[in-house]
């Protein structure tokens, strides 16, 4: 195994420069879902091409049906001929910063602030999700190359600009270029720690589909005095349908919804129980007290291993100041489903729409809209040499064993890599629960960035001569 200590020393020596590179990347307002920022996305992609070039990679931007992807490849001779091929993935796009008035400092002007606990934190949109995270691996590679001259594997870097919006753009790109990106494993840094002191490896993630339903009744809005009671009210119809998506035990009532779903195994339940997760503290942090959801399953099981149906928004009729006595002509609801391994997103969408139509009064109609980006729930094999290397490295850097966890969130690209390339992903990240990703005042701890770089250097060292 190659010596990691000189690499760690090089990373520490260059850490301030690494921070400045992160700040430069953050300053690009890469909100890919907003057309007015598409130029900034391209500027960020071009900047990343330059960054990969500094590492000695042959880098370029490539066009997709959405934002450009950045591709960097180890030149011939930079690794052993029979070394494994690693694909590192990250995304440079970010969530919109709105509402801007809730930010303490401008979202795209990164600032380091020291809290009362003495911890330094970087505040900016994208600091944690995913610009700071993706740079941990690239900066570790920079330090490794500076010391050893070559990595112990062939490296391809793939950075996309549509993760926060429509993941189908990258999926189509991978479909069209699968042979080019064939690899032995994918490394992803877009996840988090179990707690500020305990590292984690994600081995299961839920998938996600979103749907929108609009119920229409009368052809125009109606006077509630003249028509109230006699005419159907689309808001009442929609509320009744959405309110009936769950039974009294929290189970989803859509026919076939649980087809293919397996409960957590006894071994999984035993492992998760050791995490000593506190539902009371988890909920109190967001102003709640009482666990909700499907009965018979713990909150961790509900979030990691059980599918859900959630109403994300509902609107219709008059929403201005004061009152307006009206029966609206239509009402809309936005619904998302978090799916687990074994469920088919297409079947779930079809079943949901059939469920709605079956409950419609004869005078009402329903129209639907989906927004792309469907993904299946996945489980990742945890017996690979890459997982083993991550366990050793995380323990060495953080001083305690890493825990294997699930994620209630979704990362559609993991499914794309399995479907298009036939490989699993190593999911190691350093975000913390209080990073406020997708919210105002997003932050990333300076220590997360520093130790993230050091951890990836240790993972590289563990893979040296072992795979």
Q: What is the pLDDT of residues 406-441, one digit of tens each?
A: 988 888 899 999 999 999 999 999 999 999 999 999
pLDDT tens-digit readout, 293-331: 999 999 999 999 999 999 999 999 999 999 999 999 999
**Which string of DSSP letters, residue by residue, matches 2-65?**
---HHHHHHHHHTHHHHHHHHHHHHTS---TTSGGGHHHHHHHHHHHHHHHHHTT-EEEEE--S
Instruction: Report DSSP letters for 300-342, one per residue.
Output: HHHHHTS-EEEEEEEEES--SSS---EE-SEEEEEEEEEE-TT
pLDDT at residue 258 is higher than 90: yes
User: Which residues, at least 6 apart from 330, have a Cβ–Cβ distance to it below 8 Å?
Assistant: 214, 215, 216, 217, 234, 316
Residue 466's pLDDT band (boundaries 50, 70, 90)?
Answer: low
- The answer to whether 154 and 85 have CB atoms below 8 angstroms apart is yes
> Nearest-CA neighbor of 304 among 259, 338, 336, 279?
338
Which of 57-66, 234-243, 260-269, 341-350 is least confident? Answer: 260-269
Q: What does the DSSP assignment read for 369-403? A: EE-S--B--EE--S-SHHHHHHHHHHHHHHSSPPE
Say which residues have a Cβ less than 8 Å from residue 457's Cβ, sequence separation at least 6: 4, 7, 8, 11, 140, 143, 144
Across all residues in the chain, what is the average pLDDT? 95
**What's residue 286's pLDDT?**
86
The percentage of the chain sitting over the pLDDT mark of 70, rounded to a whole number, equals 98
- Other CB atoms within a 10 A radius of the CB of residue 281 amount to 8
Q: Is the pLDDT of residue 105 over 80?
A: yes
Tell me the pLDDT band of 382, cut-offs 50, 70 and 90: confident
Q: Could you tell me the two tokens for 242?
A: 């959405």
How does residue 139 score in pLDDT terms, banded at 50, 70 and 90? very high
Alpha carbon distance 446, 139 (integer Å): 14
| Alpha-carbon span 159 to 41, nearest angstrom | 12
pLDDT at residue 50 greater than cutoff 80: yes
pLDDT at 467 over 60: no
166-187 mean pLDDT: 96
What are the chain's domains? Answer: 5-205+378-463 (3.40.630.10), 207-261+307-370 (3.30.70.360)
- Tell me the residue length of the chain: 467
The winner for highest mean pLDDT among 163-172, 201-210, 351-360 is 351-360
CA atoms in the 13 A half-sphere facing the CB of 159: 32
Q: How confident is the model at residue 411, as a pLDDT?
A: 86
**Least confident segment among 19-28, 89-98, 375-384:** 375-384
Section 364-379 average pLDDT: 90
Sign of CA dihedral 92, 429, 53, 59: negative
In DSSP terms, 337 is beta-bridged to: 209, 309
pTM: predicted TM-score of the whole model, two decimal places: 0.87
Model confidence band, residue 78 (pLDDT cutoffs 50, 70, 90): low
pLDDT at residue 332 tops 80:
yes
Overall average pLDDT of the 345-351 stretch:
96
């Amino acid at each position: 195994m190659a010596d990691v200590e000189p690499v760690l020393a090089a990373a520490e020596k260059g850490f301030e420069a690494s921070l400045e590179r992160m700040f430069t990347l953050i300053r690009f307002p890469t909100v890919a879902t907003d057309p007015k920022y598409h130029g900034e996305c391209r500027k960020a992609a071009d900047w990343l091409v330059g960054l990969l070039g500094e590492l000695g990679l042959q880098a370029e931007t490539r066009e997709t049906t959405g934002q450009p992807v950045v591709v960097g490849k180890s030149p011939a001779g930079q690794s052993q001929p029979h070394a494994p091929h690693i694909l590192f993935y990250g995304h440079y796009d970010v969530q919109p910063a709105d509402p801007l008035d809730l930010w303490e400092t401008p979202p795209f002007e990164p600032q380091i602030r020291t809290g009362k606990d003495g911890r330094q934190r970087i505040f900016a949109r994208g600091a944690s999700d995913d610009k700071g995270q993706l740079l941990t691996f690239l900066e570790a590679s920079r330090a490794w190359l500076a010391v050893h001259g070559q990595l112990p594997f062939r490296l391809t870097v793939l950075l996309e600009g549509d993760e926060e919006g429509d993941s189908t753009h990258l999926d189509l790109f991978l479909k069209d270029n699968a042979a080019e990106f064939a690899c032995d494993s994918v490394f992803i840094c877009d996840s988090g720690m179990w707690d500020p002191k305990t590292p984690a490896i994600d081995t299961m993630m839920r998938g996600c589909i979103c749907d929108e339903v609009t119920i229409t009744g009368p052809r125009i809005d109606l006077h509630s005095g003249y028509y109230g009671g006699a005419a159907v009210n689309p808001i009442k119809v929609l509320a009744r349908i959405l309110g009936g998506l769950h039974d009294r035990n929290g189970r989803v009532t859509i026919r076939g919804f649980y087809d293919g779903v397996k409960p957590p195994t006894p071994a999984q339940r035993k492992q998760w129980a050791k995490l000593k997760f506190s539902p009371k503290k988890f909920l109190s942090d967001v102003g709640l007290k009482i666990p909700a959801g499907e009965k018979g399953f713990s909150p961790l099981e509900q979030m990691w291993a059980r599918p859900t149906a959630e109403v994300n928004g509902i609107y219709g009729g008059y929403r201005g100041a004061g009152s307006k006595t009206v029966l609206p002509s239509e009402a809309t609801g936005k619904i998302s489903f978090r799916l687990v391994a074994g469920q088919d997103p297409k079947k779930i969408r079809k079943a949901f729409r059939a469920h709605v139509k079956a409950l419609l009064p004869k005078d009402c109609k329903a129209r639907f809209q989906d927004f792309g980006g469907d993904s299946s729930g996945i489980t990742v094999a945890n017996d690979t040499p890459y997982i083993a290397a991550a366990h050793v490295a995380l323990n060495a850097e953080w001083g305690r064993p890493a825990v294997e966890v699930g994620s209630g969130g979704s990362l559609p690209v993991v499914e794309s890599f399995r479907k298009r390339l036939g490989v699993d992903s190593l999911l190691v990240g350093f975000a913390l629960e209080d990073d406020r990703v997708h919210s105002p005042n997003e932050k990333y701890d300076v220590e997360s960035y520093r130790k993230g770089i050091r951890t990836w250097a240790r993972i590289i060292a563990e893979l040296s001569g072992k795979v």
